[in-house]
Amino acid sequence: MRPDPHTLAGAYALDAIDDDLERRRFEQHLAECAECAHELATFAETAARLGQAMAVEPPPGLRANVMAAIGQVRQLPPAVASPGARRRRIGWAPWLAAVAAVAAVVLAVVAVRAQDQVERLEAANRQVAAALAAPDARVATAAAERGGRGTVVISREEGRLVFVAEGLPALPEDRTYQVWQIAPGRIRSAGLVGAEAATMVLAPAPGVSSVGVTVEPAGGSPQPTGTPLLLVEVPAT
């Protein structure tokens, strides 16, 4: 189902799209449609009117709590065009090793860089092997927006979902990558990963339709705060 994206502008402005993929598609459309972006801006102003009509005095403790909290929060820098050349020079040996974890199984290629990484990855490797060996195993892969890629291996019979992230750009210290299992109407955190490659072995969430990766404040978030920079659709069995 791929309806005219324009009609979604109202639902989007009201935060009424609970399907992550659908929202992401609309955002992609927005990036290409200046008229839609303008319409959405007027909708945001309109929605703000609805919101401010609800104003009530906040609880007395809120102000002190907020003021105390901001003292411990580093502010984001302004968004500026980043010098793209600098990314992905650092830390690619580790991700190569983890790519190998899957590659060793899928392609029978052994490309091991360091003994400790091998040991660390062996357990994951066995799980990947088990998932892949299952009769119903399916594999999907997708490229990330700013470099890197993700691979999903799912076996519903084995109850295993393996997610491998590779080559994601390095992040500032106060940010982390967070992996999500996305089912229609429900997003569940699968854990945090660094910029180096990571292999996660998960139990598939009920109805999981994709696995996404977002950038979150260090320590992670209960729900994603931004759009995924990597989204791998989980193949249906």
Partner 1 sequence: MVSRARDGRDMGPENEPRGERAEHAPAGLERWLAAVARGDRPAFERLYEAVAPKVYGLVLRVVRDRALSEEVAQEVLVEVWRSAARYDPRRGSALAWVMTIAHRRAVDRVRSAQAGSDREERVARMEVHRPYDEVVESVEARLERERLRRCLEGLTPLQRESVTLAYYGGYSYREVAELVRSPLPTVKTRMRDGLIRLRDCLGVER
**Cα distances (Å, whole numbers) of residue 20 to 17, 88, 96, 212, 214:** 7, 28, 30, 9, 12
Per CB under 8 A, does 31 bind partner 1?
no
Q: How far is the CB of 196 from partner 1 (least distance, A)?
A: 26
Half-sphere exposure of 84 (CA within 13 A, CB side): 4
Per CB under 8 A, does 57 bind partner 1?
yes
Contact at 8 Å (CB) between 190 and 220? Answer: no
Nearer to partner 1 among residue 77 and residue 83 (C-beta): 77
Nearer to partner 1 among residue 95 and residue 180 (C-beta): 180
CA distance 140 to 131: 13
Among 2, 32, 70, 108, binds partner 1 (CB under 8 A): 70
Stretch binding partner 1 (CB under 8 A), from 72-80, 91-99, 118-126, 155-163: 72-80
Those residues with Cβ within 8 angstroms of residue 210's Cβ, 6 or more apart along the chain or in another chain: 20, 21, 182, 231, 232, 233, 234
Stretch binding partner 1 (CB under 8 A), from 60-68, 107-115, 123-131, 146-154: 60-68
Per CB under 8 A, does 3 bind partner 1?
yes
Among 32, 34, 78, 108, binds partner 1 (CB under 8 A): 78
Per CB under 8 A, does 81 bind partner 1?
no
Beta bridge partners of 123: none
Among 28, 31, 66, 114, binds partner 1 (CB under 8 A): 66
Nearer to partner 1 among residue 4 and residue 119 (C-beta): 4
Q: Are strands 198-202 and 160-166 parallel, antiparallel or unpaired?
A: antiparallel
CA distance 173 to 225: 17
Q: How far is the CB of 101 from partner 1 (least distance, A)?
A: 31
Those residues with Cβ within 8 angstroms of residue 99's Cβ, 6 or more apart along the chain or in another chain: 111, 164, 166, 167, 197
Q: Which spans of this chain sit near partner 1 (rule: CB under 8 A)?
A: 3, 6-11, 13-18, 41-59, 61-63, 65-67, 69-70, 73-79, 185-187, 222-223
